[in-house]
Amino acid sequence: MAEKVALITGGARRVGAAVCRSLHAAGLDLMVHYRSSADDARAMQAELNAVRAESVALVQADLLNVSSLPSMVNDTVRQFGRLDVLINNASSYYPTPVGEVGEGEWEDLMGTNLKTPLFLSQAAAPHLKRNHGCIVNIVDIHADRPMRNYLVYSVAKGGLLALTRALASELGPEVRVNGVSPGVILWPEDERWSDEVARQRIIHTTLLKRVGEPEDIARTVRFLVLDAPYVTGQIIAVDGGRSISL
């Protein structure tokens, strides 16, 4: 896999960083997108380039600026000479209960979770077709089981689930397109999720009775990229069995 190249959005932190490290360990070169996490992105770049020189490059962009998305693809090809894998990982996440949804929240949540994956996939498609590459979208178990008070986020992820299947149909046979739907992997970084009682209540609904790890998502992404040549149009839930009881 030494000549394969992946572009990963939101790759500097959390699940995105775990995916980057897993694919890099498998031999892929990486273009890692970040928006505001410059320090984390540069630290990971230095870490991975110390393992394999000039194997990781960075691109900064606001994904809501659709006109900048083709440039991300072009920068990747200019840097590495090709593009084989697109991981649509970046996401906005916060509550939007009915009666409190504004146009700004709609544009942000639909933009990062659905609009950007579409237009970035469209920009990457010619390169992916040329190399018989693949796309992996990070969806959510709430794409088809909406989360109360997270109306717009749930709708956006539902759209991403449909987009995954539609792109698999549109881009086949040259390009495979799949999705990974995380369950409880990392708690959101805001005070709404700091209540330990509420956390334990959610954990209790999983069949495995525990929180997952970012590496659980990374291993599944790696499988879809490297070891699933006859898999396309599929969404794999990595949730400890929680979606069964929702």
> Annotated catalytic sites, by residue?
153
Residues 6+ apart with CB under 8 A from 123: 69, 70, 72, 73
Pairing relation of β-strands 56-60 and 235-238? unpaired
Q: How far apart are CA 136 and CA 38, in angstroms?
A: 24
Residue 87 pairs with which residues in a beta bridge? 8, 136
Distances (CA, A) of 37 to 12, 41, 230: 7, 6, 36
| Among 119, 122, 243, CA closest to 181 | 243
- 8 Å CB contact between 237 and 243: yes
